[in-house]
Amino acid sequence: MTPHRQSLLAQCRQYLDNRMAEYARELSSLDQAAAAETKSSAGDKYETGREMIAQSRALIQRNHAATLVHLDVLDRMAAAPLRDKVGFGSLVGTASGWYWVGISLGELETAEGMVNTVSLASPLGSALQGKGVGDRIAWKGSELEILALPR
């Protein structure tokens, strides 16, 4: 059975929205920790605590920015035209499973089975790019044949 593109989009969006909410909670927690941090006679302890909070904040902000990029990629995948050749936004059926080309978020569990998400920049994504139904690629010591490119 062919996975439904709209349910894949919704599942990815939910995953990314959950990550954004978690980053907001983490930043709020850091704000509370920073407000509770008081200067004491042990100034080094105070400075170390402030620096750890600043480093954690920077990491969360980088992750937040990366998630915004993923959301943009997902929006572009939703609008990508479907073609007879593998490209950005293609859903690719093979004997070893389904691949969704465009965003790399790992495996998605759907009612129709597992779908692996891969970017075009990944080794598999670049090997699949431009291929059509019936084409084969060498992959992990064997051949991977494209069986379906649903529109």
Every domain of the chain and the residues it spans: 5-79, 91-148
Question: For 24-33, how does the pLDDT look when each residue is reduced to its tens digit (9 = 90+)?
Answer: 999 888 888 7
Mean pLDDT computed over every residue of the chain: 88
Characterize 5-21 residue by residue with b for buried, 16 or more Cβ atoms within 10 angstroms of its Cβ, and e for exposed. beebbebbeeebeebee
pLDDT over 70 at 95, yes or no: yes
Read off the pLDDT of residues 8-44 as tens digits, 9 standing for 90 and up.
999 999 999 999 999 999 988 888 877 776 655 455 5
Neighbours of 112 (CB within 10 A): 13
